[in-house]
C-alpha cells in the first residue's frame, strides 16, 4: 500500500488518477484561499447552506436533461443546475436575514435542511424514473472519483484554476471588506458587490468540488485550511497563502491516498488529511498553539514563584512552597538547606527595594499609565526613567546595610 | 383502514414525536443563537454510532445511544478547546469539528462490512421511516391488544419516551431556561447555574437528535430543530406561545410531509412514493416560508415599515 500511495503521488497511477490529484490540489488551493475571506468575515458556516442547497439543482438538472432527451449524467449540466439552486439558497439566506427578525444562523440552518430535504425527495423521484436507476447522483453526497471520466476531471481542473485567478484579482478589496466594511465603503469600495463576489467564489468552489468531495464535506475544505492557517500567522496575506497551500496539500495527498486502495472515499480522506494538518498546527503553532500556551504558562508561573520567593528571603520569612524552593534552587539563589546564596541575597534585596519604589511611584503617578502597570512582575526600570527612579530613591533613602549589593 | 394501521400509523406517530422532541429544544437554541448546534450534532452522531456498532457488533438501541452521546461529548470538548486555545470564532471551530468527525464516520463505515445490517450513510441521512410498519395490526381493536402492541416497531416506544422526557424537562426547568436564554447575566446573579443549563440544553438536544436520527434520519433532525421554532418565532413575542406554535408546526409538518410523500405521487399518476424524511423537511420549509412573508411578528422591532 505505501507503494500504491507513492505511485499515486508521483502521477504513476494512471492518467485519470493524476488528473484527479491535480484537480483536487487546485480545488484545495482555491477553497482554502477563498474560504479565508469568508472565515475572516465571520461567515464561515454560510458555505454549509450553499453546499447543501446544491442538491435540488442537481436533481432538477438531471430530470430536465433526461426530459430533453439528453444524457442526464452530463457533469457540466449537473453543475450548472447545482450552481443555480445554490445561488437561490444563498439569496434566500440573505433575504431572511434582511427582511425578518431571524438571525443568520437560523436562516443558514433553515435553508440547508429544507433544500437538502427537497433534494432527497428529487433523488427518490429520479430513482423511480426508468433512466434514473444508474444515475449515480448519490455520488454527489460524499463525492466519488472512482468512475470519473477524463472530461469530468478536466472540468474540475479548469474550474479550480479559474476560481484561483479570480481570487488573485480580487484579494485586495476582499481583505478590506473582511476586516472593516465601514472603512471600505468610505474608501469607495462597493461592499455589496465585493460580498457578492466572495459568495460567488465560494459557490464556484462548492460546485466544482461536488464531484470530488461531495456536498456534505465540501464545507470542510472551505473552513479547515483557513482556521489552520490563522493559527500560524496574524497577517492576511500570509494566512491566505498558507490556507491555499494547506488546502492544496490536503487535496493532493487525499486524492493520492484515496486512489491507492479501494474503500477509501476521496472526500472523507481529503477532510481527514486536512484535519490532521489542523491538529498538528493546533499543537505546534507559535503563540496560538497548545505547546506555546503551556510554555507561556510555565514561564509565568516561574516568575511569580521567583518573586514571591525573593520577597520572602528579603523579609526573612520561611519558604514552604515546594515549587518556589525548586525555582530558587535551580537558579542558584538558595542553597539546598534553604539558606540564600550571595546572589540570592542580592536579588532578594533588589526585589524588596523595587517593591518600595513601586509603592512610592504609585503614590506619585496616580494615572493609569504607570500605576496601572503594577502587577508585581513588571520591573520598574521598564516603566520609569533612571531620573525618576533616582528621585524615588531619594525619598526612600539610601540602601541600608542589609540591602548591600542591590542595584 | 387496516392498511392505514399497518403501514402509516407507526411512521406518522414516530415522525410527529421526533419532530416535537427536536422542536422543543430548538426553540431555545434559536433564541440563544445556537441554531446550528442541531446541524453539528446530527453530523457528529454518525461516527459515534459506527464506533458503537464496531465495538458491539450489533445494531442495538443502547450501544448506539451511548456511542452517539460519547461522540457528542467529544465534539463539545473539541469545539471548546479550539475556541479557547486557538482563539477561533465559534462558528468556524464548529465547522472544523463536525466535518472532520463526519468524515471519520464515513471512512469507518466504508472500511467495515456493514452489508449484513442496515447501516449506511444514505440510511443515516434519510432514515427509514417508510419501513417502520406494524405487521400485527388487524384493526382498531389491535390498539388495545397487548399481543399486537408488542409487534410495534421498537423505535416508537423509544422516541415516545424521549419526547416525553424532553417535554417534562422543558416544563420543570422552564423558569431557569427562560431566564438564562433571555438574560444570562441576570440569571447568573439570581443564582441560576447558567453554564449547567446551557450544557444540559445541548445534552437534551443530543438525546433528541440521536433518538430521532435512529428512526427518521438526520435531515428531519436538522429541519425540526430550526424550521418550526423559527416559524413560531415570527408568530408571537411570547415564549410560551412560541413553544406552542412550534409544536403545532412540527406536528403539521410531520403529518403532511408523510402524507404527501406516500400519497402525493399517486395523485400525479406516479407509482412510487418519495422520501418521507425529505418531504417532511420540505413541508416545514414551506411553513417557514409562509411565516416569513405573512406572520404577524416577522419584522425586527425598529425596522423600517413598508419595506420588502
Place of cell 493532493: A252
- Three-class SS state of B76: helix
- pLDDT value at residue A132: 57
CA-closest candidate to residue B303, choices A102, A375, A286, A319? A102
Nearest by CB to A114, from B125, B274, B282: name it.
B282
- pLDDT value at residue B136: 74
- pLDDT value at residue B165: 94
A247 and A314 share one domain: no
A372 and A315 share one domain: yes
For residue A98, tell me if it sits in a domain.
Answer: yes
The whole-angstrom distance between B135's CA and the closest CA on chain A is 25
B7 close contact with A: CB closer than 8 A: no
| Mutation target among B15, B91, B113 for the A interface, most CBs of A within 10 A | B91
More confident: A154 or A7: A154
More confident: A116 or A389: A116
The whole-angstrom distance between B177's CA and the closest CA on chain A is 20
For residue A279, tell me if it sits in a domain.
Answer: no
A30 and A164 share one domain: yes
- pLDDT value at residue A384: 80
Cα–Cα distances (Å) from A35 to A175, A190, A330, A343, in that order, read 12, 20, 49, 56
For residue A272, tell me if it sits in a domain.
Answer: no
- Three-class SS state of A340: strand
- pLDDT value at residue B306: 47
Find residues 125-184 of chain B whose CB sits inside 8 Å of chain A: 125-126
- pLDDT value at residue A125: 86
For residue A274, tell me if it sits in a domain.
Answer: no
Nearest by CB to B226, from A106, A267, A272: name it.
A106
The whole-angstrom distance between A331's CA and the closest CA on chain B is 30
CB burial string A20-51: b at 16+ within 10 A, e below: bbbbbbbbbbbbbbbbbbbbbbebbbbbbbbb
A123 and A214 share one domain: yes
| Mutation target among A97, A100, A295 for the B interface, most CBs of B within 10 A | A100
Contact A110 B285 (CB under 8 A): yes
| H helix or E strand, kind and range, residue B193 | none
Contact B280 A289 (CB under 8 A): no
- pLDDT value at residue A405: 43
- pLDDT value at residue B133: 76
Q: Is-contact B130 B11, C-beta < 8 A?
A: yes
Contact A121 B274 (CB under 8 A): yes
In chain B, the domains with their CATH numbers are 2-292 (1.10.3470.10)
Identify all chain A residues contacting B85, using CB atoms and an 8 Å cutoff. 282, 288-290, 293
Instruction: Please give the average per-residue pLDDT across B1-10, as a whole number.
Output: 75
Q: Is-contact B187 B49, C-beta < 8 A?
A: no
**CB neighbour class for B202 (10 Å; exposed up to 12, middle 13-18, buried from 19):** buried
For residue A269, tell me if it sits in a domain.
Answer: no
The pLDDT tens digits of the residues spanning B258-294 come to 999 888 777 776 667 788 888 999 999 999 999 999 8
Render A69-86 in DSSP notation, one character per residue.
TS-TT-HHHHHHHHHHHH
CB burial string A179-217: b at 16+ within 10 A, e below: eebeebeeeebebeebbebbbbbbbbbbbbbbbbbbbbb
A76 and A121 share one domain: yes
In percent, the amount of chain B with pLDDT more than 90 equals 35
The whole-angstrom distance between B117's CA and the closest CA on chain A is 18
- For the entire predicted model, the pTM comes to 0.85
Task: Give the lowest-confidence range in A77-81, A197-201, B144-148.
Answer: B144-148
A395 and A250 share one domain: no
The pLDDT tens digits of the residues spanning B109-136 come to 888 766 556 666 777 777 777 777 777 7
More confident: A228 or B81: A228
Find residues 171-230 of chain A whose CB sits inside 8 Å of chain B: 216-217, 219-220, 223-224, 226-227, 230
Identify all chain A residues contacting B107, using CB atoms and an 8 Å cutoff. 264-265, 268-269, 272
Identify all chain B residues contacting A128, using CB atoms and an 8 Å cutoff. 270-272
The pLDDT tens digits of the residues spanning B167-223 come to 999 999 999 999 999 998 899 999 889 888 888 888 888 888 888 877 788 888 889
A29 and A120 share one domain: yes
For residue A271, tell me if it sits in a domain.
Answer: no
> How many residues belong to chain B?
308
A99 and A214 share one domain: yes
The pLDDT tens digits of the residues spanning A296-355 come to 999 999 999 998 888 888 888 888 888 888 888 888 888 888 888 888 888 888 888 888
Instruction: Please give the average per-residue pLDDT across A36-51, as a whole number.
Output: 90
Q: Given pLDDT bands bounded at 50, 70 and 90, which one contains residue B302?
A: low
In percent, the amount of chain B with pLDDT more than 70 equals 93
The whole-angstrom distance between B162's CA and the closest CA on chain A is 22
Nearest by CB to B274, from A103, A106, A124: name it.
A124
In percent, the amount of chain A with pLDDT more than 70 equals 90
Instruction: Please give the average per-residue pLDDT across A137-166, as a whole number.
Output: 78
Domain count, chain A: 2
The whole-angstrom distance between B110's CA and the closest CA on chain A is 6
A203 and A138 share one domain: yes
How far is residue A273's CA from residue A257's CA, in Å, rounded to a whole number?
10
A60 and A98 share one domain: yes
The whole-angstrom distance between B183's CA and the closest CA on chain A is 17
More confident: A145 or B172: B172
Task: Give the lowest-confidence range in A36-50, A259-273, A359-373, B161-175.
Answer: A359-373
A21 close contact with B: CB closer than 8 A: no
- pLDDT value at residue A216: 85
Q: Which domain holds residue A307?
A: 291-403
More confident: B118 or A162: A162
The most confident of the ranges A83-87, A394-398, B115-119 is A83-87
**How many beta-carbon contacts under 8 Å exist across A and B?**
219
A295 and A260 share one domain: no
For residue A356, tell me if it sits in a domain.
Answer: yes
- pLDDT value at residue A407: 41
- pLDDT value at residue A404: 46
Q: Where residue A132 sits, what CATH number does that domain have? A: 1.10.3470.10
Q: Is the pLDDT at A68 greater than 80, yes or no?
A: yes
- pLDDT value at residue A275: 96
Identify all chain B residues contacting A119, using CB atoms and an 8 Å cutoff. 278
Question: Phi and psi for B83 in degrees, rounded to 5?
Answer: -60, -50
A257 close contact with B: CB closer than 8 A: no
Question: Phi and psi for A11 in degrees, rounded to 5?
Answer: 60, 30
Identify all chain B residues contacting A45, using CB atoms and an 8 Å cutoff. 36, 91-92, 94-95
The pLDDT tens digits of the residues spanning A247-270 come to 999 999 998 888 887 778 888 999
C-alpha distance across the termini of chain B, in Å:
47
Find residues 42-101 of chain B whose CB sits inside 8 Å of chain A: 43, 82, 85-89, 91-96, 99-100
SS3 readout for A17-33? HHHHHHHHHHHHHHHHH
A209 and A321 share one domain: no
How far is residue A78's CA from residue A149's CA, in Å, rounded to a whole number?
14
SS3 readout for A281-337? HHHHCCCCCHHHHHHHHHHHHHHHHHHHHHHHHHCCCCCCCHHHHHHHHHCCCECCC
B222 close contact with A: CB closer than 8 A: yes
Q: Taking CA atoms, what residue in B is nearest to A224?
A: B96
- pLDDT value at residue A370: 67
Task: Give the lowest-confidence range in A161-165, A192-196, A207-211, A363-367.
Answer: A363-367
Q: Is the pLDDT at B307 greater than 50, yes or no?
A: no
Neighbours of A323 (CB within 10 A): 13
The pLDDT tens digits of the residues spanning B24-66 come to 999 999 999 888 888 888 888 888 888 888 888 777 777 888 8
For residue A216, tell me if it sits in a domain.
Answer: yes
Q: CA A274, A145, A157: angle at the middle one, nearest 5?
A: 75
Q: Given pLDDT bands bounded at 50, 70 and 90, which one contains residue A406?
A: very low
Amino acid at each position: 500500500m505505501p507503494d500504491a500511495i507513492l505511485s499515486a503521488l508521483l502521477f504513476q497511477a494512471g492518467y485519470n488518477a493524476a488528473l484527479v490529484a491535480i484537480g483536487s490540489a487546485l480545488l484545495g488551493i482555491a477553497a482554502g484561499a477563498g474560504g479565508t475571506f469568508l472565515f475572516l468575515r465571520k461567515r464561515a458556516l454560510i458555505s454549509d447552506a450553499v453546499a447543501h442547497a446544491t442538491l435540488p439543482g442537481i436533481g432538477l438538472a438531471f430530470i430536465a436533461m433526461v426530459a430533453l432527451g439528453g444524457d442526464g449524467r452530463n457533469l457540466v449540466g449537473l453543475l450548472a443546475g447545482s450552481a443555480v439552486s445554490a445561488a437561490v439558497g444563498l439569496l434566500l439566506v440573505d433575504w431572511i436575514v434582511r427582511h425578518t427578525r431571524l438571525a443568520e444562523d437560523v436562516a443558514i440552518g433553515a435553508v440547508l435542511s429544507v433544500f437538502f430535504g427537497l433534494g432527497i425527495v428529487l433523488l427518490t423521484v429520479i430513482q423511480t424514473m426508468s433512466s434514473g436507476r444508474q444515475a449515480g447522483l448519490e455520488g454527489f453526497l460524499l463525492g466519488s472519483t472512482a468512475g470519473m471520466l477524463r472530461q469530468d476531471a478536466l472540468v474540475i481542473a479548469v474550474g479550480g484554476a479559474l476560481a484561483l485567478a479570480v481570487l488573485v484579482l480580487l484579494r485586495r478589496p476582499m481583505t478590506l471588506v473582511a476586516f472593516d466594511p465601514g472603512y471600505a465603503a468610505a474608501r469607495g469600495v462597493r461592499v455589496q458587490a465585493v460580498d457578492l463576489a466572495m459568495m460567488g467564489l465560494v459557490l464556484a468552489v462548492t460546485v466544482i468540488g461536488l464531484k470530488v468531495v461531495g456536498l456534505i464535506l465540501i464545507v470542510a475544505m472551505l473552513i479547515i485550511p483557513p482556521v489552520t492557517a490563522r493559527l500560524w500567522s496574524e497577517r492576511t496575506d500570509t494566512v491566505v497563502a498558507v490556507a491555499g497551500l494547506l488546502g492544496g496539500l490536503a487535496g493532493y495527498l487525499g486524492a493520492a491516498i484515496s486512489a491507492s486502495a479501494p474503500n477509501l472515499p476521496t472526500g472523507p480522506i481529503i477532510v481527514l488529511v486536512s484535519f490532521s494538518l489542523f491538529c498538528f498546527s493546533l499543537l505546534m503553532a507559535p503563540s496560538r498553539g497548545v505547546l506555546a500556551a503551556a510554555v507561556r504558562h510555565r514561564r509565568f508561573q516561574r516568575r511569580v514563584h521567583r518573586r514571591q520567593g525573593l520577597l520572602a528571603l528579603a523579609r526573612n520569612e520561611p519558604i514552604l512552597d515546594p515549587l518556589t524552593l525548586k525555582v530558587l534552587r535551580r537558579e542558584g539563589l538558595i542553597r539546598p538547606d534553604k539558606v540564600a546564596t550571595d546572589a540570592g541575597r542580592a536579588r532578594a534585596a533588589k526585589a524588596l527595594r523595587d517593591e518600595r519604589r513601586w509603592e512610592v511611584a504609585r503614590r506619585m503617578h496616580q494615572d493609569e499609565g504607570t500605576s496601572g502597570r503594577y502587577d508585581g512582575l513588571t520591573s520598574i526600570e521598564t516603566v520609569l526613567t533612571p531620573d525618576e527612579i533616582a528621585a524615588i530613591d531619594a525619598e526612600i533613602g539610601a540602601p541600608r546595610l542589609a540591602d548591600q549589593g542591590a542595584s | 383502514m387496516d392498511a392505514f394501521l399497518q403501514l402509516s400509523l407507526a411512521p406518522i406517530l414516530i415522525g410527529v414525536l421526533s419532530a416535537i422532541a427536536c422542536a422543543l429544544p430548538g426553540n431555545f437554541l434559536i433564541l440563544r443563537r445556537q441554531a446550528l448546534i442541531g446541524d453539528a450534532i446530527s453530523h457528529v452522531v454518525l461516527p459515534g454510532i459506527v464506533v458503537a456498532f464496531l465495538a458491539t457488533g450489533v445494531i442495538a438501541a443502547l450501544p448506539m445511544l451511548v456511542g452517539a452521546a460519547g461522540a457528542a461529548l467529544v465534539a463539545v470538548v473539541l469545539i471548546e478547546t479550539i475556541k479557547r486555545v486557538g482563539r477561533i470564532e465559534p462558528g468556524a471551530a464548529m465547522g472544523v469539528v463536525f466535518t472532520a468527525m463526519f468524515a471519520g464516520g464515513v471512512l469507518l463505515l466504508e472500511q467495515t462490512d456493514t452489508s449484513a445490517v442496515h447501516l449506511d450513510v444514505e440510511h443515516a441521512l434519510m432514515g427509514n421511516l417508510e419501513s417502520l410498519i406494524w405487521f400485527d395490526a388487524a384493526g382498531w381493536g389491535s390498539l388495545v391488544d397487548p399481543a399486537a402492541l408488542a409487534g410495534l416497531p421498537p423505535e416508537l416506544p423509544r422516541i415516545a419516551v424521549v419526547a416525553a422526557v424532553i417535554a417534562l424537562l422543558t416544563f420543570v426547568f422552564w423558569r431557569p431556561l427562560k431566564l438564562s436564554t433571555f438574560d444570562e447575566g441576570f440569571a447568573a446573579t439570581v443564582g441560576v447555574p447558567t453554564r449547567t443549563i446551557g450544557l444540559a440544553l445541548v445534552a437534551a438536544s443530543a438525546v433528541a437528535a440521536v433518538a430521532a436520527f435512529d428512526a427518521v434520519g438526520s435531515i428531519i433532525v436538522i429541519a425540526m430543530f430550526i424550521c418550526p421554532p423559527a416559524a413560531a418565532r415570527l408568530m408571537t413575542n411570547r415564549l410560551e406561545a412560541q413553544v406552542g406554535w412550534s409544536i403545532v408546526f412540527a406536528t403539521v409538518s410531520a403529518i403532511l410531509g408523510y402524507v404527501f410523500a406516500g400519497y402525493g405521487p399517486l395523485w400525479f399518476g406516479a407509482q412510487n412514493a418519495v422520501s418521507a424524511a425529505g418531504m417532511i423537511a420540505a413541508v416545514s420549509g414551506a411553513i417557514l416560508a409562509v411565516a416569513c412573508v405573512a406572520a404577524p411578528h416577522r419584522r425586527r422591532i425598529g425596522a423600517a415599515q413598508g419595506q420588502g
